[in-house]
């Protein structure tokens, strides 16, 4: 294990404790090298072995992995286990309950936002609930291939619904429950979902979020957009069903732990359906739908550099093989483990390493609804002690946040159960790494740093570009193959481009340096500068906006926005607050800008392109701006330095 940071720190090597290493799936470097070589030199043999652990209704007919990564040779595609049929839900539940006799094993310890709310769910119970939900969805008209939008907090029903979709062959599109009505609407429209599953609301810490209300607003927006679309389509009387996007019904889950109940939630009996009522009326048995290996499994939206989110599409067999394998090896999964990934299922980390990877391995996990600082700042450590967590996986931003509170909140709890720690989402800085290793891992737990993306569940080594696919790589941008090819494959024909810069050190380790495109990584969440700029310029006072990143002690990076106002508009605190609110409302609280600066003029090239490099330097107060010879009007730089925001 090497530690990120300066050359000095990099040189220091840390080895896992002997005991842990001896019993590991991959006990030493030679064993790793052997596995790695096999996966590269004999991918068919390698993946066939992984697949042999799972149930295939029909075996594959051709090569395990087929692909074209070269745009000059035709369409880009990746196929895994062609000809095979299977079912994800069957493999992660029925197989464990029936073939492996794990019905009594706890699949999830659900821990609510309040420590008083908790529940243990066994594999047997999970299967029963998922079948009920599958029957409910079918009763509501959902069929194979239909898209189902899920806008739920971290409650067991989120897992029931996503697995129910996979059982009946529907495609889930989970929208993180922190997104705004506008963002939810955009995602529902793009993937043309036929139903939406939501809850009345959720407490995040002390704060109540009325999800159902936001969901209602989102659907109202969908309706308006459909109508507008319909009007533009009217001249053509032969257009078929132009309102494909209209959501016919939504399923709502009353949350017991909310102070208000469904009676206080706006309810439209014409289309709203109550979860508890329907779930009680259906059977606990549901035959799985046998799907082709390359049938879609889910769509998940990620930021795009043009501002419009991309619906990343993953397929059944490859996702099963890849997440199960990476979970097993990266976290060295053992049957007595209690594993906890603190991500939200609304992000790809949660899809892969809360739901699919752990369940495929018959793992016992913690499913956590809350936040790290509620009701106190030792909550994570309290939960580790409560469930005797052995493998703990979180983000550098959470570590940086909790480091601030010192040792006291950690030392109150017994963390001796921990064996392996993981981090994900952004580069980890040396201070955070050391604190995690020494204070949380008590110097005995290896820290695994897992790089991957919504597009590419992949852990371990990486290159900035990849020459070959692996089963869990995205298959397309939903409804937009052209965008898929141009975003990832056009830059270097024959290679998949991740969008990240990286370097290789003398020992052959790769160090991720961060994004090289117009994306900003805020607390491990990718945000597109173009999307934030579009929501700023939507405000009547703003003529032009440019957004860049600035380092942030907890979030890693934060948003620094330059706005040029229209004539006669005054830049003041009220406007700044309005602009921040507008971005929150349009995208969601994660995108709230930290800084908004008045920019009477923006640095531009003679051809009119905004010079973002210069803006980034101004945001960071770096005075040495280098070569400005291409700038149309260098005077704007001084003005911008004078208007700099020091504090948020």
Chain residues that interact with ligand PRX, rule: CB under 6 A: 302, 348-349, 424-427, 449-454, 498-500, 512, 515, 521, 525-526
Q: Is the dihedral of CA 407, 411, 413, 414 positive or negative?
A: positive
476: its two tokens: 């397309």
Strand 391-394 relative to strand 420-424, pairing: parallel
Q: How far is the CB of 466 from ligand PRX (least distance, A)?
A: 12
Q: By the 8 A CB rule, do 219 and 185 touch?
A: yes
The DSSP bridge pattern shows strands 510-515 and 496-497 to be unpaired
Q: What angle do CA 302, 473, 152 make, to 5 degrees?
A: 40
CB of 351 to ligand PRX, least distance (A): 10
Distance between CA 466 and CA 111 in Å, rounded? 39
Smallest gap from residue 107 Cβ to ligand PRX (A)? 23
Minimum separation from the CB atom of position 510 to ligand PRX (A)? 10
Q: Which is nearer to ligand PRX, 132 or 310 (CB)?
A: 310
Smallest distance, Å, CB 150 to ligand PRX? 18
Residue by residue, DSSP assigns 142-210 as --TT-EEEEE--SSHHHHHHHHHHHHHT-EEEE--TTS-HHHHHHHHHHHT-SEEEEES-EEETTEEE-
* Min dist. Cβ of residue 397 to ligand PRX (A): 11
243/463 with CB nearer ligand PRX:
463
Q: For the chain, state the CA radius of gyration.
A: 25
Rounded to the nearest 10°, the torsion over CA 253, 256, 260, 265 is 10
User: Least distance to ligand PRX from the beta carbon of 489, Å?
Assistant: 16
- The owner of tokens 């720190």 is 9
Tell me if 332 sits within 8 A of 413, measured CB to CB.
no
Nearer Cβ to ligand PRX, position 122 or 306?
Answer: 306
Q: Please answer whether residues 400 and 372 qualify as being in contact, where contact means their C-beta atoms are separated by less than 8 angstroms.
A: no
Do 320 and 88 touch, CB atoms closer than 8 A?
A: yes
CB of residue 600 vs ligand PRX: minimum separation in angstroms?
33
- Distance of closest approach, residue 516 Cβ to ligand PRX, in angstroms: 9
- Closer to ligand PRX at the Cβ: 54 or 451? 451
Question: 3-state SS string over 180-197?
Answer: CHHHHHHHHHHHCCCEEE
How far is the C-alpha of 487 from the C-alpha of 481, rounded, in Å? 10
- Whether the upstream peptide bond of residue 80 has omega within 30° of 0, thus cis, is no
**Least distance to ligand PRX, CB of residue 502, Å:** 9
Smallest distance, ligand PRX to C-beta of residue 518, A: 12
Helix residue ranges, H only, 429-515: 430-435, 481-488
Task: Tell me how far apart the alpha carbons of residues 261 and 22 are, in angstroms, rounded to a whole number.
Answer: 53
Q: Which two tokens stand for residue 573?
A: 């605190």
Residue 414 has which token pair? 């017994």
Beta-bridged to residue 298, according to DSSP, are 172, 314
Contacts of 27 (CB under 8 A, 6+ apart): 21
* Beta carbon nearer to ligand PRX, 186 or 426: 426
Q: Which is nearer to ligand PRX, 21 or 453 (CB)?
A: 453
Compare residues 315 and 521 and give the one whose CB is closer to ligand PRX.
Answer: 521
For ligand PRX, the closer CB: 342 or 450: 450
Distance, CA of 434 to CA of 443 (rounded, Å): 9
CB of 454 to ligand PRX, least distance (A): 3
Question: Least Å distance between CB 542 and ligand PRX?
Answer: 27
Q: Determine contact, residues 311/301, Cβ cutoff 8 Å.
A: yes
**Looking at beta carbons only, is 115 or 589 nearer to ligand PRX?**
589
Q: CB-wise, 334 or 521, nearer to ligand PRX?
A: 521
In degrees and rounded to multiples of 5, residue 178 shows phi and psi of -100, 0
Distance CA 438, CA 618 (A): 36
Residue 102 or 559 with smaller CB distance to ligand PRX: 559
**Least CB distance to ligand PRX at residue 431 (A):** 16
When the beta carbons of 535 and 549 are compared against ligand PRX, the nearer one is 549
Residue closest to ligand PRX (Cβ): 454
Count of Cβ atoms closer than 10 Å to residue 643 Cβ: 13
Which is closer to ligand PRX, CB of 295 or CB of 426? 426
- Using the minimum distance from each CB to ligand PRX, give the nearer residue, 449 or 518: 449
User: Which residues have CB under 8 Å from 614's CB, separation 6+?
Assistant: 603, 625, 628, 631, 637
Copy the structure tokens of residue 103. Answer: 């019905």
Output the 3-class SS for 46-76: HHHHHHCCCCCCECCCCCCEEEECCHHHCCC
Angstrom distance (rounded) from CA 295 to CA 168: 12
Residue 383 Cβ, how far from ligand PRX at the closest point, in Å? 21
Residues 355 and 306 sit within 8 Å (Cβ to Cβ): no
Nearer to ligand PRX, 172 or 515 (CB): 515
In 3D space, the residue among 269, 133, 143, 264 whose CA is nearest the CA of residue 210 turns out to be 264
């Amino acid at each position: 294990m090497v530690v990120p940071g300066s050359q000095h720190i990099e040189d220091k090597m840390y080895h896992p404790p002997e005991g842990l290493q001896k019993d590991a799936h991959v006990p030493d470097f030679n064993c790793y090298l052997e596995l790695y070589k096999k996966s590269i030199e004999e991918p068919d043999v390698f993946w066939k072995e992984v697949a042999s652990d799972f149930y295939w209704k029909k075996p594959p007919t051709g090569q395990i992995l087929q692909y074209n990564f070269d745009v000059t040779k035709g369409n880009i595609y990746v196929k895994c286990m062609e000809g095979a049929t299977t079912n994800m839900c069957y493999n992660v539940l029925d197989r464990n309950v029936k073939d492996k006799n794990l019905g009594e094993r706890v699949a999830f310890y659900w821990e609510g936002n309040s420590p008083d709310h908790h529940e243990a769910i066994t594999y047997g119970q999970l299967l029963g609930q998922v079948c009920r939900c599958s029957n409910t969805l079918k009763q509501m008209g959902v069929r194979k291939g239909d898209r189902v939008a899920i806008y739920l907090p971290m409650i067991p029903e989120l897992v029931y619904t996503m697995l129910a979709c996979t059982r009946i062959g529907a495609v889930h599109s989970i929208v993180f429950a922190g997104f705004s009505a506008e963002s939810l609407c955009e995602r529902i429209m793009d993937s043309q979902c036929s139903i939406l599953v939501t809850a009345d609301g959720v407490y995040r810490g002390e704060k109540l979020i009325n999800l159902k209300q936001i969901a209602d607003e989102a659907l109202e927006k969908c309706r308006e957009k459909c109508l507008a679309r319909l009007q533009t389509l009217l001249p053509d009387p032969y257009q078929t069903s132009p309102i494909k996007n209209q959501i016919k019904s939504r399923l709502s889950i009353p949350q017991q732990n909310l102070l208000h109940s469904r009676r206080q939630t706006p309810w439209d009996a014409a289309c709203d359906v109550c979860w508890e009522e329907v779930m009680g009326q259906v059977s606990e048995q549901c035959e799985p739908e046998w799907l082709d290996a390359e049938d879609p499994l889910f769509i998940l939206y990620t930021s795009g550099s043009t501002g419009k989110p991309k619906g990343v599409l993953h397929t059944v067999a490859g996702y099963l093989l890849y997440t199960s394998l990476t979970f097993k090896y990266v976290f060295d999964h053992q049957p007595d483990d209690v594993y906890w990934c603190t991500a939200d299922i609304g992000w790809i980390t949660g899809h892969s390493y809360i739901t699919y990877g752990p369940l495929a391995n018959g793992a016992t996990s913690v499913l956590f609804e809350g936040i790290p600082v509620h009701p106190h700042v030792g909550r994570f450590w309290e939960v580790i002690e409560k469930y005797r967590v052995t493998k703990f996986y979180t983000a550098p931003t959470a570590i940086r946040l909790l480091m601030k509170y010192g040792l006291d909140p950690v030392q109150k709890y017994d963390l001796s159960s921990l064996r392996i720690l993981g981090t994900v989402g952004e580069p980890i800085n040396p201070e955070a790494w050391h604190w995690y290793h020494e204070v949380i891992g008590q110097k005995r737990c290896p820290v695994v740093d897992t790089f991957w993306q919504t597009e590419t569940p992949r852990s371990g080594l990486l290159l900035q570009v990849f020459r070959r696919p692996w089963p869990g790589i995205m298959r397309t941008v939903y409804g937009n193959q052209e965008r898929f090819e141009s975003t990832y494959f056009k830059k270097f024909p024959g290679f998949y481009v991740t969008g990240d810069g990286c370097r290789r050190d003398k020992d052959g380790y790769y160090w991720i340096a961060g994004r090289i495109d117009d994306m900003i990584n805020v607390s491990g969440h990718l945000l597109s500068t173009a999307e934030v700029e579009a929501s700023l310029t939507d405000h009547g006072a703003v003529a032009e906006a440019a957004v860049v990143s600035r380092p942030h002690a907890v979030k890693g990076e934060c948003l620094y926005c330059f706005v040029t106002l229209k004539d006669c508009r005054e830049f003041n605190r009220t406007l700044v607050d309005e602009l921040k609110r507008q971005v929150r409302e349009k995208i969601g609280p994660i995108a709230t800008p930290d800084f908004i600066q008045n920019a009477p003029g923006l640095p531009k090239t003679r051809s009119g392109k905004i010079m973002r490099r210069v803006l980034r330097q101004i945001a960071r107060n770096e005075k040495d701006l280098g070569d400005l010879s291409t700038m149309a009007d260098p005077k704007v730089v001084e003005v911008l330095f004078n208007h700099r925001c020091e504090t948020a």
